[in-house]
Amino acid sequence: MTRTLQGTPAADGFRMPGEFESHAGCWMLWPERPDNWREAARPAQTAFAQVAAAIAQFEPLTMGVSGTHYAAACALLPADVRVVEMAHDDCWMRDVGPTCVVNRRGTVRGVDWHFNAWGGLAGGLYFPWDQDELVARKVLACEGLARYRAPIVNEGGAIHVDGAGTALVTEECLLNPNRNPTLTRAALEAQLRAYLGVTQVIWLGRGVVNDETGGHIDNLACFVRPGEVCLTWTDRRRDPQHAVSRDAWERLRDARDARGRRLKVTRLPMPGPLFLREREARGIVPLEGSRARRAGERLAASYVNFYIANRGIVMPLLDARTDRLAAQRLKRLFPGRRVVGVPAREILLGGGNIHCITQQVPAGTRTRSPSAS
């Protein structure tokens, strides 16, 4: 069993680095469940394999796959992806994987949050979630990293940090009574300080319209670097997303980060609006206990849901009308990185996007690679 530490990262001198800092590698999980992924998850598997291949150009990529799907996943994935057996209830590694923290000596450790499928029995997306709950400790065990067990329900997609003392979250998600009903805003901030090593928490309001995670920050806005945020945006005033993004923009404009700086905010155009098609809905096997998906539902599409890899950006391609503009913006925001687009509608259909299905392990002082060749 991986070592579980007492104490907290902050007390031990650890902080969560920004995603734009150097990575040792990235983890994903394989999509499998037929009640969330159409056509027994085959189209999603193709999309996930393309994301994995894109990330593996930039950093080591490990895919966790259930025992049942192991051999098939190996056949579908490129040779440079490491495939490890790992049971899970669904494949959102951002939310069920560890949130890694580092100290000044370059030691890496992991935070294992409690997970309740985005709301437990009060609005969560499926039951049970016991295998998801084990994923973070399995990743940490596999990587040989020590583990902090955080005492709150949280998901990696519900937090962004600048690596320099500032966290970015939404009220819709963190204050939702289906996560930590007994904790006040102040108590939650105290937990974020303790487990992320931050000193300042910036609260936005709601997340992207119809985001079934309960308003994850990682679909709405993210840090590009300390002092700079990008925000999903639409100018269409009749779109309910307009008010959401406008409110976020105003809060970001008024915010100060941990160093007292104002934030520079860049707007990323939204795709769509996009909706679940009839034939897509037909491919999903409805199961009791899981959230139903109905044709015509609005999809929570956002280009902000990209992954920052070492020297690369892996972004979702979602809408031919806006993909190019979003890619151009990202190129300008990340001049040192190559922007790679992956067709991602199939990921969106499952309820998230590229950032939701990935989780970085920050680079430490020691290498993780064995004596391979």
Regarding 369 and contact with its own copies (CB under 8 A), the answer is yes
Regarding 50 and contact with its own copies (CB under 8 A), the answer is no
Residues 18, 168, 99, 61: is their CA dihedral positive or negative? negative
Regarding 360 and contact with its own copies (CB under 8 A), the answer is no
Question: How far apart are CB 280 and its own copies at their closest, in Å?
Answer: 29
Regarding 367 and contact with its own copies (CB under 8 A), the answer is yes
CA-CA distance, 266 to 221, in Å (whole number)? 10
Question: How far apart are CB 175 and its own copies at their closest, in Å?
Answer: 31
Question: How far apart are CB 8 and its own copies at their closest, in Å?
Answer: 16
Q: In terms of CB distance, is 45 or 180 closer to its own copies?
A: 45
Binding mask 111-140 for its own copies (x = CB under 8 A): --------------------x--x--xx--
Question: How far apart are CB 242 and its own copies at their closest, in Å?
Answer: 44
User: Could you give the strand order of the β-sheet that contains 228-233, starting from the edge strand earlier in sequence?
Assistant: 221-225, 228-233, 264-269
Q: In terms of CB distance, is 291 or 368 closer to its own copies?
A: 368
CA-CA distance, 177 to 180, in Å (whole number)? 6
Length of the chain: 373
Check: CB of residue 260 under 8 Å from CB of residue 227. Answer: no
Q: In terms of CB distance, is 1 or 320 closer to its own copies?
A: 1
CA-CA distance, 353 to 300, in Å (whole number)? 9
Q: What is the DSSP letter of 270?
A: P
Residues facing 160 on adjacent strands:
168
Q: In terms of CB distance, is 71 or 187 closer to its own copies?
A: 71
* Interaction residues for its own copies, span 26-45 (CB under 8 A): none
Q: Tokens for 113?
A: 């949050």
Number of residues near its own copies (by CB under 8 A)? 49
Regarding 6 and contact with its own copies (CB under 8 A), the answer is no
Helix spans in 66-129 (H): 70-76, 93-96
Binding its own copies (rule: CB under 8 A), the pick from 144, 181, 286, 289 is: 144
Regarding 51 and contact with its own copies (CB under 8 A), the answer is no
Regarding 370 and contact with its own copies (CB under 8 A), the answer is yes
Confirm whether 91 is a catalytic residue.
no
Q: In terms of CB distance, is 106 or 128 closer to its own copies?
A: 106
Catalytic residue chosen out of the listed positions 100, 173, 230, 356: 356
* Interaction residues for its own copies, span 161-180 (CB under 8 A): none
Report which secondary-structure segment, H or E, holds 102: strand 99-102
Beta strands in 117-163 (DSSP E): 146-153, 160-161
DSSP states of 307-345: EEETTEEEEEE--TTTHHHHHHHHHHH-TTSEEEEEE-H
CA-CA distance, 211 to 318, in Å (whole number)? 16
Binding its own copies (rule: CB under 8 A), the pick from 3, 185, 259, 264 is: 3
Report which secondary-structure segment, H or E, holds 57: none
Check: CB of residue 322 under 8 Å from CB of residue 274. Answer: no
Binding its own copies (rule: CB under 8 A), the pick from 142, 152, 258, 281 is: 142
* Interaction residues for its own copies, span 57-116 (CB under 8 A): 60, 66-67, 70-71, 74-75, 77-87, 102, 106-109
Question: How far apart are CB 302 and its own copies at their closest, in Å?
Answer: 32
Q: In terms of CB distance, is 128 or 181 closer to its own copies?
A: 128
Q: In terms of CB distance, is 58 or 233 closer to its own copies?
A: 58
CA-CA distance, 73 to 71, in Å (whole number)? 5
Check: CB of residue 102 under 8 Å from CB of residue 10. Answer: no
Does residue 153 sit in helix, strand or coil? strand
Cα-only R_g, the chain: 19
Check: CB of residue 76 under 8 Å from CB of residue 69. Answer: no
Q: Indicate which residues carry an active-site annotation.
A: 356
Sites of contact with its own copies (CB under 8 A): 1-4, 24, 60, 66-67, 70-71, 74-75, 77-87, 102, 106-109, 131, 134, 137-138, 141-146, 363-373
